[in-house]
Amino acid sequence: MLLLLTNIKSMPEVNKKIYHTSKQIKIDTSENITNFLEDYASLCKMYNLSLSHEDEHGGFIIEECTDDNIKWVFEASTNVNN
């Protein structure tokens, strides 16, 4: 598989705490969530694509990969209990 050049300058670090929407508190980020986010960032870099958000209608947009788009996903809240 051919790796493409991307607009990512460096991989961000996953936050140690993540906001849990149901519990309405910050919890420790699980290894599962950390691995998911790191794998997501690697896929973005590999394909030079990432998710962004369409504010007007609430959908996602697939865009060229940028640091800001990766950081945005890394700031997600969770509703997972593991």
61 falls within a domain: yes
pLDDT digits (tens, 9 = 90+) for 27-78: 999 999 999 999 999 999 999 999 998 776 778 899 999 999 999 899 989 9
The vertex-62 CA angle with 67 and 81, nearest 5°, equals 75
80 falls within a domain: yes
15 falls within a domain: no
Which tokens hold the place of 36?
């998911």
Q: What is the DSSP letter of 78?
A: B
12 falls within a domain: no
24 falls within a domain: no
Helices marked H in the chain: 31-47, 67-74
How many domains is the chain built from?
1
- Give the pTM: 0.76
pLDDT digits (tens, 9 = 90+) for 43-54: 999 999 999 987
Q: How far apart are CA 60 and CA 54, in angstroms?
A: 6
What's the domain range around 55? Answer: 30-82
